[in-house]
Amino acid sequence: MKFKPSFSNIITYVVLISLTLVFLAPFVWTVFTSVKPDSEIYSQTIRLFPTKLTLTHYERVINKMQDFPKFFFNTVSITFWTLLLIVLLATTSGYTFGVIPFKGHKLFLAFILLVLTLPYALYLIPVYLMLDSINVINTHLALILPYAALNLPMSILIMRGSFKRIPKELEEASIIDGCSIFQTWWHVMLPVVKPSVAVVIVLAFINVWGEFMYGRTLTNSPDAQTLAIGITFLRDEAASWQFGPLSTAITLSIIPPFIIFVAMQKYFVKGIIEGALKG
């Protein structure tokens, strides 16, 4: 049986492909710029593809920029511990809201929804004052705690929806078998909601990895600053952008989120369908 696409389907595909190319264009341009020599980058003739490939900018960024490895390590460390904290709190809180009824849970959910409606910039000054009062400004902890708090509301709602759709009989069977609440959550319920956990990880990873506003405000030393901050220091003596090293640094910073998304793509799509849009 031959498939004959309708006119509406053709229009849909054309629009989707066009939008894909529009969103990919900046990324492709940045990657090609990172392997162009300076003579082509600053040439009056605009070319997408370089006529001569060079890794000079990569060598300069990795070997000659003293703080770049430190920025990269800080970003990896902060992102890792933030994700660990988010996954732990989101899965336990989502399990509580979705499976274990308690008095006042609707009020807590309303508060979570209220937090989601407010812009993140609104919390910046109170967060700074609180962190300054406990002397953690300009440390990794100064970013881990706010990042986890800012990403928790959405993560909790995603996990709540995922846990809520699990048949009640599964939980009851585990309790009959002698499992405690913790054992039921860890051994029975958590493996079922792995796709939603992947959604939480991917969304939080993207938000934390490239976050700038909180990172710039709460840190002022290379010992605690992230890649998003370090990239802004790629200027020459005239305070103008060095497009070669800048494109290289951006390309290198995009690689980890790309790897994470590709590795979890199967679970991410399934989790979006099953957990994020239900409950």
Which tens digit of pLDDT belongs to each residue from 162-187? 898 888 888 888 888 888 888 888 88
Residue 118 has pLDDT above 90, yes or no: no
- pLDDT band, residue 188 (cuts 50/70/90): confident
pLDDT for the residue 5? 67
SS3 235: strand
- pLDDT band, residue 219 (cuts 50/70/90): very high
Residue 272 has pLDDT above 70, yes or no: no
279 or 13, higher pLDDT: 13
- pLDDT band, residue 246 (cuts 50/70/90): confident
- pLDDT band, residue 141 (cuts 50/70/90): very high
Percent of the chain as helix, strand, coil, to the nearest 5? 75, 0, 25
Mean pLDDT of 105-115: 85
Give the number of other Cβ atoms within 10 Å of residue 27's Cβ. Answer: 13
pLDDT for the residue 165? 86
Mean pLDDT of 213-240: 81
Decide if 72 contacts 227 (C-beta within 8 A).
yes
> How does pLDDT run across 36-91, given as a tens digit for each residue?
988 888 888 888 888 888 888 888 888 767 788 889 899 999 999 999 999 999 99
User: How is 163-194 classified by DSSP, letter by letter?
Assistant: HHTS-HHHHHHHHHTT--HHHIIIIIIHHHTH
Tokens of 233: 């220091």
Residue 240 has pLDDT above 80, yes or no: no
Supply the mean pLDDT for the chain: 86
Question: What is the DSSP-derived secondary structure letter of residue 239?
Answer: S
Closest CA to 57 of 68, 45, 43, 46: 68
Domain 66-276 classification at class level: mainly alpha
